Structures are given as structure tokens and as C-alpha cells.
């Protein structure tokens, strides 16, 4: 059983949107112990970028 900070990290990881590197499809949720694309079975996923643009000042 996962407790404390690890449980919070795990919950955040499961709730985020990911994208499969191989097939490019969006994955809404991932299983805890099995991080794998449900469409093609590839095991490499990345976090989906947000559509919000950010402006950073450089002084």
C-alpha cells in the first residue's frame, strides 16, 4: 500500500493527460503499476502540453 507523499504523487500521475510517443494518441488515465499505451502497447508516454501560453520576462 502506498502512503503519504508517494500516494499524492501517484494520484497526480493518474489524473494527468498523457500522450503516447509511438502512436500519438491521448491517454486520459494510466494504471498504477502498468504505464503502457492502451492502443499500441508502447511503454513510453509524455505529459500532454497545455494550450495556455506563458510570457516570461527576461531582464
Domain ranges of the chain: 5-47
Name the residue among 56, 2, 46, 55 with its Cα closest to residue 20: 46
Domain covering 5-47 assigned CATH 2.20.28 in the classification? yes
Encode the chain (59 residues) as per-residue pLDDT tens digits: 555 666 555 554 556 788 999 999 998 876 767 788 989 999 898 888 777 788 888 87
Query: Which H, E and C letters describe 45-59, residue by residue?
Result: EEECCCCCCCCCCCC
pTM of the predicted protein model: 0.55
What is the DSSP code (8-state) at residue 23?
A: T
Amino acid at each position: 500500500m502506498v502512503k503519504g507523499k508517494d500516494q499524492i504523487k501517484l494520484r497526480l500521475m493518474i489524473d494527468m493527460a498523457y500522450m503516447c510517443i509511438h502512436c500519438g494518441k491521448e491517454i486520459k488515465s494510466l494504471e498504477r503499476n502498468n504505464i503502457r499505451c492502451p492502443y499500441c502497447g508502447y511503454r513510453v508516454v509524455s505529459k500532454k502540453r497545455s494550450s495556455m501560453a506563458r510570457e516570461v520576462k527576461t531582464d
